[in-house]
Amino acid sequence: NRNYADKIMIYPEFHQQITYEALRVCHAVRKEPDIITRQRMIAEIFTSGMYKRLITNVRSVKVGYQALLWSFRLWQWRDKTRSHHRITRSAFNLR
């Protein structure tokens, strides 16, 4: 909640937890056997801005390398025929 943002102490572990959760989502994308579902997951990652949160919350060299590697992989694996916004909208049956 933005009203209480200045009253909450941000601990360094929060950044690490955000990065590790995002990397877990990346591994889930890799393990998804269905191509269409994988494309929708990748589109949702780019639409929601999760890849930006992944990069901005990096606090170590090792995790930074993994984050950049996964960002590059997801960028390669995305559906290049349509924009990620259109794929996400079709996943939710929006017009």
pTM: predicted TM-score of the whole model, two decimal places = 0.74
Domain span at residue 71 reads 12-91
- Higher pLDDT: 25 or 85? It is 25
Give the pLDDT of residue 81: 80
Q: How confident is the model at residue 95 (pLDDT cuts 50, 70, 90)?
A: low
Beta strands in 8-79 (DSSP E): none
- The CA distances from residue 19 to 2, 8, 85, in Å, are 21, 19, 23
User: Is residue 2 assigned to a domain?
Assistant: no
Task: Establish if 4 belongs to a structural domain.
Answer: no
1 lies in some domain: no
Counting the structural domains of the chain, the total is: 1
User: Could you tell me which residue, 88 or 69, shows the higher pLDDT?
Assistant: 69
Is residue 51 within 8 Å of 74, Cβ to Cβ?
Answer: yes
Q: Is residue 41 in a domain?
A: yes
The CA-CA-CA angle for residues 68, 70, 72, to 5°, reads 70
Indicate whether 44 belongs to any domain: yes
